[in-house]
């Protein structure tokens, strides 16, 4: 028998899993997501990506500000679901919600737990230079990503892979993993094991104070920093401007040979010296402009070898 499910998610990362669950024939009785936010030039209220997809399927959408009230918990229980699927929802689930579905709440987390529990696992894995990442289906408890693990899927992180590329790949892998986990749950064969105590790390939320590029660091760290923050919020440096410095985001880079004073432009191909070694910028974006390749950027910005990026 197909499961009767509540889906809880918000960003693009969660959409493939919702699509997979609906396509598998499970009965999604409600979709919980965050409230619409103003966006765009007109600052009109915009539904979350999950809300838009749920409405396309004709599913009921709920956007409570909190799940801690008795009213919200009663409403959740009233759906009489077997289980809940949670993917980057954005609200804490209190015990009353976790206990409201008989089979439990299952979270798709974008890391190989217990490594990178927390808010920004994809970015932190890339910024740390991890050689692999993956997704874990976890049965939720009241802790921060501490619940028992049901299934896991691994994948390599290529040397130049950005957080954005890893995000998209994990969203696809994760949707299939959750599909398989729900199939096992439906058959009564899903096994949940505790997370190991060793290897716990926390993926702290990104903050603006860590986005500026520090050219004095080794080239590998600079490269990891750039790709771990690409495409958003973006690692950046400044160029001299007519009235004020111009901020430039670096979206893609690669490690190359070279040396010089940190931040120095070494050639006509946007090779930049770091504290140890060098990187080459492949794609970048001036404030208020569209992303562009390095050669296109250089045609509009005259930079000679020896220039110093701040």
CA angle centred on 74, ends 23 and 95, rounded to 5°:
85
Question: Checking DSSP bridges between strand 44-46 and strand 37-39, what pairing results, if any?
Answer: antiparallel
Tell whether residue 291 is among the known ligand binding residues.
no
The beta-strand segments (E) located in the chain are 4-9, 27-32, 37-39, 44-46, 61-62, 83-87, 105-109, 117-118, 132-139, 148-156, 202-203, 235-239, 246-256, 271-273, 278-286, 292-293
Q: Is 2 annotated as a binding residue?
A: no
φ, ψ at 240 (rounded to 5°): -60, 140
Cα torsion for 197, 190, 25, 83, to the nearest 10°? -60
| 49 marked ligand binding residue | no
Question: Could you tell me if 23 and 182 are in contact, meaning their C-beta atoms sit under 8 angstroms apart?
Answer: no
C-beta of residue 267 within 8 angstroms of C-beta of residue 280:
no
Residue 233: HSE in the Cβ half-sphere, 13 Å Cα cutoff: 14
Residue 114 known to bind ligand: yes
Residue numbers in the known binding site are 111-114
Residue numbers in the known binding site for (6S)-5,6,7,8-tetrahydrofolate are 111-114
């Amino acid at each position: 028998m197909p499961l009767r499910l509540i889906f809880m998610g918000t960003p693009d990362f969660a959409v493939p899993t919702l699509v997979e669950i609906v396509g598998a024939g499970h009965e999604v009785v409600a979709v919980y997501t965050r409230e619409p936010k103003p966006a765009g030039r007109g600052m009109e209220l915009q539904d979350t990506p999950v809300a838009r997809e749920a409405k396309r399927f004709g599913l009921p959408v709920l956007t409570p500000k909190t799940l801690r009230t008795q009213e919200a918990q009663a409403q959740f229980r009233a759906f009489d679901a077997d289980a809940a699927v949670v993917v980057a929802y954005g609200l804490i689930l209190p015990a009353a919600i976790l206990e409201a579905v008989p089979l439990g709440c299952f979270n798709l987390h974008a890391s190989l737990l217990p490594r990178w529990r927390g808010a920004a696992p994809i970015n932190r894995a890339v910024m740390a230079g991890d050689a692999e990442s993956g997704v874990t289906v976890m049965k939720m408890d009241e802790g921060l990503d501490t619940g028992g693990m049901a299934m896991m899927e691994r994948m390599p992180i290529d040397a130049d892979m950005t957080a954005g590329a890893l995000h998209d790949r994990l969203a696809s892998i994760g949707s299939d993993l959750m599909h398989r986990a729900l199939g096992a749950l439906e058959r009564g064969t899903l096994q949940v094991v505790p997370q190991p105590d060793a290897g716990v790390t926390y993926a702290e939320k990104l903050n603006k104070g860590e986005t500026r590029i520090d050219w004095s660091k080794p080239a590998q760290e600079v490269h990891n920093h750039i790709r771990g923050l690409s495409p958003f919020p973006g690692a950046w440096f400044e160029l001299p401007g007519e009235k004020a410095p111009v901020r430039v985001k670096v979206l893609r880079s690669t490690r190359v040979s070279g040396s010089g004073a940190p931040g120095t432009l070494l050639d006509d191909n946007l090779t930049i010296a770091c504290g140890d070694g060098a990187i080459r910028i492949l794609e970048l974006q001036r404030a208020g402009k569209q992303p562009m390749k390095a050669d296109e950027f250089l045609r509009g910005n005259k930079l000679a070898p020896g220039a110093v990026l701040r």
